[in-house]
């Protein structure tokens, strides 16, 4: 369809911050008619300065801090950092703890995708999706609450293992949640995915082909929707992923609709992983032998053997790791998450670098906006599943 572009003088528009269509980001668009000619982003409205604060805190005190940027995806933020610390202090993790890490991470992935889909729904005017997304998420958040004791910022993973063990109640909750979500995803498909309005708003919008996705450095579901088979869980397996069987959904279209479908299929894969973990989780300790020895016998009997909870041994208070550095990556809900920790032998890291998925989406979003219709800026934004605090950290 040919569109007559009405040229306008100085067509600049300030979107946000705190505009329903901009989240916490200010988007300065230059318009020609309703075509976005260029787009300038002002990202830093919820800056937490994690990298700077990281130079002023002990390694253990950083665990609750690094997961603040993405509170909906805190297990992954937690895991990436702890893996980097483990690499520096050179400790290996028992098998059961690795499975528990995968278990918590997959629950978090489902919760994070449901959040993202809910936000996409409200952005393009589909309030039901918003309410369903947040409602269905609650089931998974409750499992995390039962497992870790906290709803969102879990601090579940510690160097050498995890903090709490699985109980029969949690297994039962998870099985119920899987049945519920499977049924609910069918409803989602009826009301959201196959909805003609949603299809119109998302199909052929913000198209990113394979070459563009690679050169702009897209991550996660957005990258896989553009036809790149890349997932850290397959490329460099961490936790228990090398022993689990799952597929990576890949689409070729690269538009907003493909990105949405990838998220739905990843949720199904995550539930498949959860079922496998429940079935073949091995018995054994949940903390490395090296640290387990340091727990006093009375506490060991009451807490660790009695209730499956770890009482933190004294080693964690302010350990001094040897000099060295570590680069680790995990596949968080929104994509690849990279940690670069440099240690100079003191109890605080010399430099902590945290590259979150949304941070790498800034460039993608800016490039995708060029040449799009103004009304589509919102659906591009929503379909990328951009989470502002994660970007400015």
Kindly report the CA angle at 313 between 312 and 319, in degrees rounded to 5?
105
Q: Verify binding: residue 355, another protein, rule CB under 8 A.
A: yes
Strands of 282-334, DSSP E: 324-332
Name the H helices within the chain.
50-54, 59-66, 74-89, 95-123, 127-148, 168-188, 196-202, 210-216, 220-224, 232-235, 256-280, 289-292, 297-299, 306-307, 357-369, 374-383, 388-392
Q: What's the min distance (Å) between Cβ of 341 and another protein?
A: 11
Contact 195, 126 (CB under 8 A): yes
Whichever of 12 and 172 has its CB closer to another protein, that residue is 12
Stretch that binds another protein, among 36-44, 199-207, 265-273, 306-314 (CB under 8 A): 36-44
Stretch that binds another protein, among 40-48, 63-71, 259-267, 311-319 (CB under 8 A): 40-48
Q: Verify binding: residue 392, another protein, rule CB under 8 A.
A: yes
Q: What's the min distance (Å) between Cβ of 193 and another protein?
A: 27
Whichever of 237 and 313 has its CB closer to another protein, that residue is 237
Q: What's the min distance (Å) between Cβ of 91 and another protein?
A: 16
| H/E element, 353 | strand 351-355
- The residue within the footprint of another protein, chosen from 56, 127, 242, 294 (CB under 8 A), is 56
- The residue within the footprint of another protein, chosen from 327, 345, 370, 371 (CB under 8 A), is 327
| Long-range contacts, 20-24 (Cβ 8 Å, 24+) | 20/122, 20/123, 21/123, 21/377, 21/378, 21/381, 22/381, 23/381, 23/386, 23/388, 24/388, 24/389
Dist CA 359 CA 391 (whole Å): 4
- The residue within the footprint of another protein, chosen from 336, 376, 385, 390 (CB under 8 A), is 336
* Omega prior to 385 cis, within 30 of 0: no
- The residue within the footprint of another protein, chosen from 35, 228, 248, 278 (CB under 8 A), is 228
Stretch that binds another protein, among 14-22, 37-45, 71-79, 247-255 (CB under 8 A): 37-45
- The residue within the footprint of another protein, chosen from 99, 123, 188, 216 (CB under 8 A), is 216
Whichever of 313 and 324 has its CB closer to another protein, that residue is 324
Whichever of 48 and 309 has its CB closer to another protein, that residue is 48
Q: Cα separations (Å) of 105 from 77, 124, 174?
A: 10, 29, 13
Dist CA 67 CA 371 (whole Å): 35
Q: Verify binding: residue 362, another protein, rule CB under 8 A.
A: yes
28 - beta bridge partners?
Answer: 14, 40
Q: Verify binding: residue 223, another protein, rule CB under 8 A.
A: yes
List of residues contacting another protein (CB under 8 A) = 41-44, 47, 49, 51-53, 55-56, 213-217, 223, 228-230, 235-236, 327, 329, 336, 338, 340, 342, 350-351, 353, 355, 359-360, 362-363, 392
């Amino acid at each position: 369809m040919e569109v007559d572009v009405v040229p306008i003088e100085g067509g600049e528009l300030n979107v946000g911050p705190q505009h329903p269509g901009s989240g916490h980001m200010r988007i300065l668009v230059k318009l020609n008619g309703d075509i976005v000619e260029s787009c300038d982003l002002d990202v830093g409205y919820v800056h937490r300065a994690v990298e700077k604060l990281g130079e002023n805190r002990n390694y253990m005190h950083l665990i609750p801090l690094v997961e603040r940027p993405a509170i909906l995806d805190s297990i992954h933020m937690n895991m990436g950092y702890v893996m980097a610390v483990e690499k520096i202090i050179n400790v290996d993790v028992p098998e059961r703890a690795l499975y528990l890490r995968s278990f918590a991470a997959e629950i978090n992935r489902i919760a994070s995708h449901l959040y993202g889909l809910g936000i996409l729904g409200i952005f393009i005017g589909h309030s039901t999706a918003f309410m369903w997304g947040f409602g269905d998420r609650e089931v998974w958040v409750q499992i995390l609450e039962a497992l870790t004791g906290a709803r969102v910022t879990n601090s579940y993973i510690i160097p050498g293992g995890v903090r709490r063990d699985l109980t029969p109640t949690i297994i039962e909750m998870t099985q119920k949640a899987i049945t519920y979500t499977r049924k609910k995803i069918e409803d989602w498909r009826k009301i959201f995915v196959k909805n003609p309005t949603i299809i119109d708003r998302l199909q052929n919008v913000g198209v990113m082909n394979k070459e563009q996705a690679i050169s702009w450095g897209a991550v996660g579901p957005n990258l896989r929707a553009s036809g790149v088979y890349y997932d850290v869980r397959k490329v460099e397996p961490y936790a228990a992923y090398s022993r689990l069987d799952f597929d990576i959904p890949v689409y070729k279209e690269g538009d907003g609709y493909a990105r949405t479908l990838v998220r739905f299929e990843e949720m199904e894969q995550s539930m498949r992983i959860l079922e496998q973990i429940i079935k073949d989780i091995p018995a054994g300790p949940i903390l490395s032998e090296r640290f387990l020895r340091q727990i006093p016998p009375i506490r060991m009997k009451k807490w660790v053997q009695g209730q499956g909870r770890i009482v933190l041994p004294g080693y964690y208070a302010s350990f001094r790791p040897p000099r060295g550095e570590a680069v680790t990556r995990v596949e968080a809900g929104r994509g690849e998450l990279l940690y670069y920790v440099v240690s100079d032998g003191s109890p605080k890291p010399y430099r902590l670098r945290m590259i979150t998925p949304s941070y790498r989406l800034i460039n993608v979003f800016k490039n995708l906006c060029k040449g799009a219709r103004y009304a589509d800026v919102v659906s591009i934004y929503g379909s990328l599943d951009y989470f502002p605090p994660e970007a400015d950290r």
